[in-house]
Amino acid sequence: IVPDVHRANEFIKELKEFERQDSMPNFMIMLLPNDHTAGTKPGMPTPEAAVADNDLALGQVVDAVSHSKFWKDTCIFVVQDDPQNGFDHIDGHRTVAMVISPYTKRKVVDSTNYNQTSMVRTIELLLGLPPMNQLDASAIPMTSCFHDTPDLTPYTVLPNNIPLDRVNPALADIKDPREFFIGQMFRLNHHSKKLMRLTRTR
């Protein structure tokens, strides 16, 4: 498995070259997939380590971009491919999305019913591109995420507080596999319920 922080480091190298050339592509796609985790597969990063790796990598990317000369003209969209047990009090199909830019409203949760094509439509509008078909043409743009006054304050990445090198034990090393896997499921459900409670209080 390739750590997400390695992917982030490769992007940051490219970003430094873009700065040297004073030119950056108008549109880039980056894959940071490790918050999907490998579950309890032996020898693979623990779910906690995989998510910590993903969080750190995303923070490093935002840190680098927000400290670069391109920040004032950049918007970073972050979305999961699917929620994967990330259900909350609404529906299991719902997932999180982040819009990161100098023009993004700070400390705001936007509960508008967007979908994936809403994000595509917003990107098209920012780039001055026409819709590709009727699906993105009719999608609700994410305009309520933005305001007119930019805040150019850069983001400083926080260090991880979970070791990234934790791995799941081999099956032969598990004294009671049934107890181990029940414990893993209990922790997953516990975190999901905690997320649901936090969401209700917002």
At residue 200, the pLDDT reads: 46
Question: Are 12 and 61 within 8 A, CB to CB?
Answer: yes
Give the H/E segment covering residue 28: none
Question: What is the rounded distance in angstroms from the CA atom of residue 171 to the CA atom of residue 42?
Answer: 7
- Residue 135, pLDDT above cutoff 80: yes
CA neighbor of 66 nearest in space, from 100, 97, 98, 96: 100
At residue 35, the pLDDT reads: 85
- Residue 146, pLDDT above cutoff 90: yes
The per-residue pLDDT for range 160-185, each reduced to its tens digit, is: 999 999 998 876 666 665 555 555 55
At residue 36, the pLDDT reads: 82
Question: What is the rounded distance in angstroms from the CA atom of residue 199 to the CA atom of residue 202?
Answer: 5
Tokens 């997953």 correspond to 188
Question: Are 4 and 32 within 8 A, CB to CB?
Answer: yes
CA neighbor of 23 nearest in space, from 73, 75, 76: 73
Question: What is the rounded distance in angstroms from the CA atom of residue 76 to the CA atom of residue 155?
Answer: 13
The encoded tokens of residue 34 equal 């490790």
In the chain, the percentage of residues whose pLDDT exceeds 70 is: 79
Of residues 192 and 141, the one with the higher pLDDT is 141
Task: State mean pLDDT over 27-54.
Answer: 90
SS3 97: strand
Beta bridge partners of 20: none
- In 22-163 the beta strands, taken as DSSP E runs, fall at 76-79, 97-100
Name the pLDDT band for 4 (thresholds 50, 70, 90). very high
Question: What is the rounded distance in angstroms from the CA atom of residue 64 to the CA atom of residue 177?
Answer: 43
In the chain, the percentage of residues whose pLDDT exceeds 90 is: 62
The encoded tokens of residue 115 equal 């979908």
- Residue 198, pLDDT above cutoff 50: no
Question: What is the rounded distance in angstroms from the CA atom of residue 56 to the CA atom of residue 159?
Answer: 7
- Residue 38, pLDDT above cutoff 90: no
The per-residue pLDDT for range 63-116, each reduced to its tens digit, is: 999 999 999 999 999 998 766 655 556 666 778 899 999 999 998 889 898 989
Residue 133, CA distances (Å) to 77, 89, 127 in order: 21, 33, 16
